[in-house]
Amino acid sequence: MANSLSTLLEKKKILLADGATGTNYFNMGLMSGDSPELWNVEAPEKVALLHRQFVEAGADVILTNTFGCTRNRLKLHNAQDRVFELNKAAADIAFGVAKEADHEVVVVGSVGPTGELFEPIGALTMETAIQSFAEQMEGLKAGGVDVAWIETMSAREEIEAATAAARQVGLDYVFTASFDTAGKTMMGVSPAELGSFAATMDPHPIAVGANCGVGASDLLSSVLDITSAKPVCAVVAKANCGVPRVSGDKVIYTGTPELMGDFVRLAINSGAKIIGGCCGTSPDHLAAMRVALDGYLANPSELNRPDLAKIISTTGELVNQVAAAPGTTPKRERRGRRRAS
């Protein structure tokens, strides 16, 4: 049975997903260390406002406010017994906004990592992880979600657990990883491997791709690797708004609306079909991305797959990778892993 995301993707060919959650919530009063997911019941008007701002900016796809809504993360706020309640509430809020939109908007269920390590490095087992993700997804499904958007993953085992949970619950799925450590995920998964991994799944995901990381240029490099591997599905590019810089106790994202517009054009040329923003991406940034996307689609003759030199000259230097000479493989450079903001 067709799901809402596949149907809209077939209709529009390229979709604009929304922007950041946490960094925008901080501007709305969320305090560092607080759970954004508790806002689904404590401040639903703020959750709805951000969704509405992204929709008004032109988003085709909005993610529920449930990135950290497994019991593994909610236990940090003594809310581990509220998984179903908080996930369903988030879906209800997002669908309420989508129904009011002046254009078709798809709601997908955000599913982030548990924050725990698998055996033998940590204590998390595959069985426990599947149970945890399935519990979250049951709440999302009860709120009307038909696609689990599994994001910011680092470990292959965690992707396996989350996608197994989606199949168990009866949801289609997307999965993306954060390639923020020398061009790979923290647990060593490369972009090309991600695309190949998708081919082993039955059913195949709707899309795979990259999100978060360390900036637009690095993410575009990852997308080039994914699309070069000829994935069996659509590709997602959801970049942070520029490169994060620490200023006192704050993380500031340096990307301008113009940079994110350039990112959209390069992402399309790199083969991405679902494009959005991650940390630091405001509704203003997303509005510029909508303009860039619409303008680009009006002039498809611009289509030209970029190389790393083109990406660097347009969106800035790579942070985790050192560009090689044209036609050769870029060397990888290990840098410190950025903490999520």
How many structural domains compose the chain? 1
User: Under a CB-based contact definition with an 8 Å cutoff, are residues 30 and 2 in contact?
Assistant: no
Q: Is residue 341 part of a domain?
A: no
Q: Look up residue 69 and give its two tokens.
A: 């809504």
- Residue 182 included in any domain: yes
Domain CATH number, residue 16:
3.20.20.330
In a domain, 180, yes or no: yes
Residue 337 lies in a domain: no
Residue whose token pair is 């082993």:
200
**Whole-angstrom distance, CA of residue 83 vs CA of residue 92:** 14
Alpha helices in the chain (DSSP H): 4-12, 22-27, 39-42, 44-57, 71-74, 83-100, 126-142, 156-169, 191-199, 216-228, 257-269, 283-297, 308-315
Q: Is residue 286 part of a domain?
A: yes
338 in any annotated domain: no
Tens digit of pLDDT at every position of the chain (341 positions): 478 999 999 999 999 999 999 999 999 999 989 999 999 999 999 999 999 999 999 999 999 999 999 999 999 999 999 999 999 999 999 999 999 999 999 999 999 999 999 999 999 999 999 999 999 999 999 999 999 999 999 999 999 999 999 999 999 999 999 999 999 999 999 999 998 899 999 999 999 999 999 899 999 999 999 999 999 999 999 999 988 777 776 778 889 999 999 999 999 999 999 999 999 999 999 999 999 999 998 887 667 899 999 999 999 999 886 433 333 334 333 332 233 33
Q: Does residue 279 lie within any of the structural domains?
A: yes
- Residue carrying the six token digits 């599913």: 111
Q: How many CA atoms lie within 13 A of 216 on its CB side?
A: 31
pLDDT score at 254 = 86
Q: Is residue 104 part of a domain?
A: yes
* Residue-level pLDDT at 330: 41
Domain range holding 277?
4-332
Check if the beta carbon of residue 89 is closer than 8 Å to that of residue 47.
no
Task: Say which residue the tokens 């970029």 belong to.
Answer: 306
Query: Is the pTM value of this prediction over 0.85?
Result: yes
Beta strands (DSSP E) in 297-338 are 321-322, 331-332
